Amino acid sequence: MRKISKSTKRRLKFTLFLVTLIVFFLTYRLVKIQIIDGESLKTGALQQWTKSIDIKTDRGIIYDTKGRKLAVNVTAFTLWATPSDIKNPEEVARELSSIIDMGYDEVYLKLTKDVHVEKIKQWITREVADEIREKNFRGISIVDDNKRYYPFGSFASYILGFTDIDNNGLYGIERAYDKYLTGIPGTWVKATDAANRQLPYDGEKVFEPDNGKSVVLTVDETIQYFAEVAATEALINNQAKSVSIIVMDPKTGDILAMANKPDYNPNTPRESLDPETNIQWSQLPLEERQNRWYEMWRNYAINDIYEPGSTFKIVTAAATLEEATSNLNSTYYCNGFIRDIPGVVLRCASWFKPHGQQDFSEAFANSCNVAFVNMAREVGKEKMLEYIKAFGFGELTGVDLPGEQRGIIPTNAQSIREVNLATLSYGHGIAVTPIQMINAISVVANGGNLMTPRFAKSILDENNRIIENFDPELKRQVISEATAKELLGMLEKAVIEGTGRKAYVPGYRVGGKTGTAQKIIDGRYVAGKYISSFGGVAPVDDPKISVLVIVDEPTGIYYGGTVAGPYAQMLIENTLNYMEIPRKYTQEELENISEVVVVPDVTGLRIFEAGGIITDLGLKYTTEYEIFTNQSNVLDQYPAAGSELTKGSIVDLYLDYGESNPNLSTEIEEGN
């Protein structure tokens, strides 16, 4: 046998080593592909073989309490591209850009992206979608979509809010209940070959979306309409900066209406309703323009604070009666001033014509600052702060809209100085939100209970079946039912005899309190800028509604009774009529209703002459505590001469100062 040479052995060894190395490498690759990278490679293969397109959900409907639709969805279409399927992107981009009104460069960039699918444009019209389908572009698909739509435009915009381009809630109810309204998106999956052609019998699957749930609000569309009309008229007639109105069911905390003016259209939330403003905004840098948008979207009734003025006297009166430091038979003497606080002189709004001796309810009807300062002193700063907190000031009400503020109250009793206690008694030196204020008024209307305000009543499924209810929530009892009843009587007297006479409605027992507060800007009271308000309840014998009307920076006359009172009256009368609450006329009201009086022209006359003429005709008049003497002349009147009023109605007279106009130095002046 021939002996194997050494060189042959070396070649065999090398060959064996090489084969072993190759086998080892192939084994390693097989293990890596099959086991280590198996799942990721499988996923990658599936991605190459399949295409998936998201299927948007139908967002839930927003209904008012009677089932009327306030926010709905309308059919729209979304244009998608599969870049790998498009053979001639230049030509496709050219044709598409002219159809969908987009720039060629922008469309071309989308068509050539290194992605599986790319959204070209959302919410194209049916006509545009049909035109694109006729072109039969390869790699271009159109998916049915829906767009959020608010059928009443700016109506209730601060309640509803709006969504972004992907139907995510951004403001209002849309944001607060987004988890219910949104639903779960679906997916359309199909398999393709190497040329990206859809394979027959490929097991194409459509994972249906789980549509959003619907929200039923406590808001009544008709009452909301009344509030919107009243707010618009108050804004225009007073040439005010803004107006906010809230209507609440005091027994449940249900918000029946909330209107802020000026407002915006949630269908086009980045555009002002004023065309000139839009032109100005278009010239601003993006950051500044965004700030204007945020300012426009800000919900005054929930997100902003203000000094309430005399409407806050409800809290002072409640504390006084509940603590029994005074009662309805207690008397207070008003000489027009508080002079015993070192370094400060505070005055009553009627300082030029002091109220003199008055009982508790008269002091309330007169909105006498001097009396309320003395009430707060009797209660003491510790108890006053306790009741301020009990009425819900300084804490969140829990209302189901985003961005609520706590307001500003004293941090503790030790921080309340003598002058602070005095001004707190009539609503200065404290900042509240409108929603806090109407909630506090509702405490008096419902027998002493603080409720949690709410906008949402229930959640419905796709078949309009209730799947979740939001029940009224009692936070705590603030005052006794007896105290609440006494306060209701005083509120009614304030409307019949006091500063709230403009809110009087024949046949309905209306109670209310006016407020006028000088505005604070940058930490200082600003002359000539006021917030005028009226808060009330009706009917007093069985309260169905609480109302709050706030007019920010009215032009000219600024007293709450004159500025806000008439719109509260309009709102109360319309709402109670709509709710079919029967009127109960007194004999005097029946007599007055049957007789119409033509308003005389008394401008230019002295006050005593004008008052005599008006009284002789069976009308009443008020000067809203303007500073005057018997020599004061009537500068203007409301209603104007020639208007028709029922006998017993009130004519506002606006006067000059007459012969006396003392120059008095005070820290704070409170109007009513």
**Mean pLDDT to the nearest integer, 462-491:** 95
pLDDT of residue 166: 82
Give the pLDDT score at 27: 83
Q: Given the structure tokens 């509702």, which residue do they identify?
A: 442
Residue 539 CA: distances (Å) to CA of 207, 245, 294, 560: 55, 18, 38, 21
Q: Measure the CA–CA gap between 283 and 277, rounded to whole angstroms.
A: 10
Cα maximum dimension of the chain: 153
- pLDDT of 226 higher than 50: yes
Dihedral angle computed from the Cα positions of residues 309, 314, 320 and 323, in that order, rounded to the nearest 10 degrees: -130
Higher model confidence: residue 299 or residue 647? 299
How many angstroms separate the Cα of 450 from the Cα of each of 377, 390, 537, 621?
25, 8, 15, 37
Average pLDDT, stretch 323-350? 90
Fold of 595-661: Trypsin Inhibitor V; Chain A (3.30.10)
Question: In this predicted structure, which of 65-74, 281-290, 495-504, 518-527 has the lowest mean pLDDT?
Answer: 518-527
Phi/psi at 665 (5° precision): -100, 120
Higher-confidence position of 591 and 300: 300
Cα–Cα distance measured from residue 626 to residue 348, given in angstroms and rounded to the nearest whole number = 12
In percent, the amount of the chain with pLDDT more than 90 equals 54
Task: Kindly report the number of other CB atoms within 10 A of residue 200's CB atom.
Answer: 7
Distance CA 15, CA 22 (A): 10
374-394 average pLDDT score: 96
Residue-by-residue DSSP string for 50-110? EEEEEEPPPPPPEE-TTS-EEEEEEEEEEEEE-GGG-S-HHHHHHHHHHHHT--HHHHHHH
Query: Domain segments of the chain: what residues?
Result: 6-36, 51-214, 595-661
188-192, 233-237, 316-320, 395-399, range with the lowest pLDDT: 188-192
Half-sphere exposure of 176 (CA within 13 A, CB side): 20
What pLDDT is attached to residue 55?
A: 63
CB atoms within 10 A of CB 479: 24
Please, are residues 437 and 535 in contact by the beta-carbon 8 Å criterion? yes
> Region 452-464: what's the mean pLDDT?
94
Q: CA 270, CA 381: separation in Å to the nearest integer?
A: 47
Terminal CA-to-CA distance of the chain, rounded, Å?
131
Q: Considering the domain delimited by 51-214, tell me its CATH architecture.
A: Alpha-Beta Complex (3.90)
- CB 442 within 8 Å of CB 324: no
Q: How do residues 34-45 score in pLDDT, each as one tens digit? A: 777 767 766 655
Q: Are 547 and 247 in contact (CB under 8 A)?
A: yes
Q: How confident is the model over 402-425, as a mean pLDDT?
A: 94
pLDDT of residue 163: 93
Which one-letter amino acid corresponds to residue 515?
G
DSSP-derived letter for residue 211 is P
pLDDT at residue 601 tops 70: yes
* Integer Cα distance of 445 and 542 in angstroms: 8
User: Parallel, antiparallel, or unpaired: how do β-strands 331-334 and 511-521 relate?
Assistant: unpaired
Tell me whether domains 51-214 and 595-661 share a fold.
Answer: no
Gyration radius (Cα) of the chain, Å: 35
DSSP letters, 454-500, are BSEEEEE-TTS-EEEE----EEEE-S-HHHHHHHHHHHHHHHHTSTT
pLDDT at 625: 46
**Contact indicator for 143, 80 with CB cutoff of 8 Å:** yes
Q: What is the pLDDT of residue 16?
A: 81
The Cα 361–Cα 157 span in angstroms is 40
Q: CB of 110 within 8 A of CB of 120?
A: yes
For the cut 50, the answer to whether the pLDDT of residue 213 exceeds it is yes
Task: Name residue, tokens 């004519």.
Answer: 651
331-334 vs 356-359, strand pairing mode: antiparallel
What is the C-alpha separation between 489 and 332, in angstroms, rounded? Answer: 19
pLDDT tens, 630-671? 677 888 887 888 887 777 777 878 777 544 333 333 333 334
Task: Answer whether 628's CB lies under 8 Å from 653's CB.
Answer: no
Q: How far apart are CA 394 and CA 233, in angstroms?
A: 32
476 and 398 Cβ atoms separated by less than 8 Å: no
Angle at 507 between CA 506 and CA 513, to 5 degrees: 65
| Backbone angle region of 203, left / alpha / beta, with phi > 0 → left and psi within -120 to 50 → alpha | left
CB atoms within 10 A of CB 615: 11
How far is CA 119 from its chain centroid? 34
Burial class (CB in 10 A: 0-12, 13-18, 19+), 63: buried
Scanning the structure block, which residue is given the tokens 């406590």? 218
Q: Where are the beta strands (DSSP E) in 294-383?
A: 331-334, 337-341, 344-347, 356-359
pLDDT of residue 657: 52
Alpha helices of 497-584 — where are they, by DSSP H?
Answer: 560-563, 565-578
pLDDT value for 518: 87
- Predicted confidence band of residue 627 (pLDDT cuts 50, 70, 90): very low
In terms of C-beta density within 10 A (0-12 exposed, 13-18 middle, 19 or more buried), how is residue 189 classed? middle
Max mean pLDDT range (124-138, 293-307, 607-621):
293-307
- Kindly state the average pLDDT of the residues 458-476: 94
Task: Compute the C-alpha angle 609/617/572, nearest 5°.
Answer: 110
Three-state secondary structure call for residue 387: helix
Query: Of 138-147, 249-258, 421-430, which has the strongest mean pLDDT?
Result: 249-258
Distance (Å, rounded) from C-alpha 358 to C-alpha 330?
8
Q: Which of 141, 214, 272, 310 is flagged as catalytic?
A: 310
The residue written with tokens 């309308």 in the block is: 74
Q: With both helix axes pointing from N to C terminus, report the angle between 126-135 and 89-100 in degrees, rounded to the nearest 10.
A: 160
- In contact, 619 and 649? CB cutoff 8 Å: yes
* pLDDT of 491 higher than 70: yes
pLDDT higher than 90, residue 257: yes
157 closest CA partner among 304, 305, 300: 300
Positive or negative, the CA dihedral 65, 67, 70, 76 is: positive
User: Which token pair is 554?
Assistant: 């009215």
CB 201 within 8 A of CB 180: no
Beta bridge mates, 531: 517, 552
How does DSSP classify residue 383?
H
Q: Is the pLDDT of residue 448 over 80?
A: yes
Q: What is the mean pLDDT of the chain?
A: 86
Length of the chain: 672
Q: How far apart are CA 62 and CA 96, in angstroms?
A: 36
Amino acid 661: pLDDT: 38
Task: Give 408's DSSP letter.
Answer: B
User: 607: pLDDT confidence band, cut at 50, 70 and 90?
Assistant: confident
In the prediction, which pLDDT does 667 show? 35
* Residue percentage of the chain with pLDDT more than 70: 89
User: Is 310 labeled as catalytic in the residue annotation?
Assistant: yes
The pLDDT, as a whole number, for residue 48 is 55
In 318-455, beta strands by DSSP E:
331-334, 337-341, 344-347, 356-359, 449-451
Cα angle for residues 637, 641, 647 (degrees, 5° grid):
90
Q: Can you read off the two tokens belonging to residue 278?
A: 């839009």
